[in-house]
Structure 1
Amino acid sequence: MKHVLLIFIIVTFNSTFAQSPKVLVKTNSEGNVSEGSIESLIQAIREGNDIRVGWSLDFDKDGKPDVEHLIDAKFLTILNGHVFNQIDPIYAQAPNAKIPQIQIGNNNIKWMAIIGTNGVLMSRFIIPDIEDQKNEDYKKQLEMMSKVSEDIVETSWYLKS
Structure 2
Amino acid sequence: MNKVILMGRLTRDPEVRYSQGESPMAIARYTLAVDRRSRNNNDGQTADFINCTAFGRQGEFAEKYLRKGTKIAVTGRIQTGSYTNKDGVKVYTTDVIVEEAEFAESKNSAGTDGGYAGNSNFSGGGRPEPMSAGDGFMNIPDGIDEELPFN
Q: Same fold (TM over 0.5)?
A: no
Structure number with the higher strand fraction is 1
Rg comparison, structure with higher value: 1
TM-score by length of 1: 0.29
Greater RCO, CA 8 A, separation 6+: 1
Structure number with the higher helix fraction is 1
